[in-house]
Structure 1
Amino acid sequence: MVNYAQLLLPDFSLILCGYLVCRFTPLNRSVWQPVESLVYYLLFPVLLFQSIVKSPVDIGAASGLIAAGMLTGVAGIALAYSLPRWPVLGKHLDARDHAASAQIAFRFNSFIGLAIAERLAGAQGLLMIAVLIGVCVPLFNVAAVWPMARQGEHGFLRELVRNPLIVATVTGLVANLLGFRIPGWIEPTVTRISAASLALGLMAAGAGMQFGLLTRGKALSVSVLAIRHLVLPVIAFGMGRLFGLNPVQTTVLLAFSALPTASTCYVLAARMGYNGPYVAGLVTLSTVLGVVSLPFALGVLR
């Protein structure tokens, strides 16, 4: 567990660096908000597309990992959706806050996931996590948008079609299956953009951390974070055993299950007219809890 904590230190150091730079230098939120948009709409989609298309995807060999990852995510979605129906707990949940924060329980920070997978298992780990991202991001984004679209008056399909992560993953998978490869003359540029997205994405995640409004909806907060950081790693452990995954696949799956939630959760909630600062507080706490849940999944469960 200590070795995994040391392995993850560089990535969480970048998150801490982003937080400190944003809070204690002139490079405040007015600087980092455009950086988040740059990463979200351009840099990260390029990284995702490149990670998926640069190596042939063996669907047969990856089928067990894909199934285990998707079933783990579906279990998280089901648990998050079911919270209002739980005895006692359901009576204390605000419907709009639940609609906005249910996504915290199952979405994941792809920036951190890609950085950690490469550190854990090199190019093979990077390809595996890219495949998981490719198949899970559309499903998880559908699940994130659905309760807010139902509570509000937003076009469900419009929100999905405009999501850059869904566009990048779908086009990447289609390009891979069609045998498309990035031309050699442009690959160095694409690689540099991809590398920049990881560092900037991690720092932007830190810059976006907000501890305000965490006292609001304590029962809801504890529930969605417990699903994200405790229940899902345990479910992933069971899925790994059920599908007989090899050691590298198991490592990637456990890391995937214990990631902090997506930093874009609060962007989505705010854009759809929900309580953005509350969701931002949950994202912040999830990022901090990732320091514990990732070593727990990789060092204890594994």
Structure 2
Amino acid sequence: MARWSGIFKVPLCPGSRSHYKVATSLCVSSSSQSPVVPSMNAIFFNGDRVRGTGNPVIEKLSDLENIAEIIVSKLGENCNVWVIEASKFNGPFAVYKDFIPSVNQWGEPTSYDPTGDPASTSIVSLLSSCLKQVKNTILSKPKEPCVGEAIGSHFPQPKTLLFGFSKGGTVINQLVTELAFSEIKSSTVNSQHEPDIIPTSKESLLNSIAEIHYVDVGLNSSGAYITDQDVIKRIAKRVSERSLGIRFVLHGTPRQWRDSMRVWVGKEKDTMVNLLDVESRKSGGKLSFCERFYFGDKMANMQMHFEVIESMDVC
């Protein structure tokens, strides 16, 4: 098995004005005779920019390519990793306007609305644009491994793992809302079908979501976590109708969960945990969750907010 890593500035779709910086770390074949298909795609949404701190730890953990390497080290070699930065910033504030149309000028959501499925549609389009650039880059170097070769039917479709760090959690909330209100569409599986490297439709993306990680999310307004009971109930019902279960993992530090100036962040987290707890008990194991607290014996600071990326337990 081999890997190919790189970073691109890619359009959301052909002709789009929105360009996203995406760090990729992909499974590739060592030769055309031994193709490799990933067992999972991990999609990580980054948060606001923090610059000029002079802190080497923060600088290191703000680097998209380094984040991709960390995620690979946690999930194993048989995964594709995509680390996405917002296309627009208002000063240091990330604005994911293509994924969440109802955001203010600082990128804070005014609501999470599934109408039109903007997050799932944008992710599928963005990954497709990125994969095309990866293939073009690799094919321009014939001696390098190739991505996307023929895959045997004994490989299952890759699962999708979602990570939202800090402001990136808003994209995760939008996706959760879209999943809650989506419908399962039955499809016949051809035994000769070759699994796609990435989800190729919003339906395939939503159906493949297996894990959702909230990584020290927090906002200067409400909306860091899902607190709508109807959304969580719908998620549980949605998952009960498919073969693949789903796991929520809430990772946090004192920087967010114990911030006395933003007490709503911790309260929203507790509300979501309680809602997940109720529905998980009724799901027959199809929906599970856990919360993990890091650096609990330390005073809150900005460094721990980034260190959680390296310290988080994803097992």
TM-score by length of 1: 0.28
Larger Rg: 2
Higher strand share: 2
Higher helix share: 1
TM-score by length of 2: 0.27
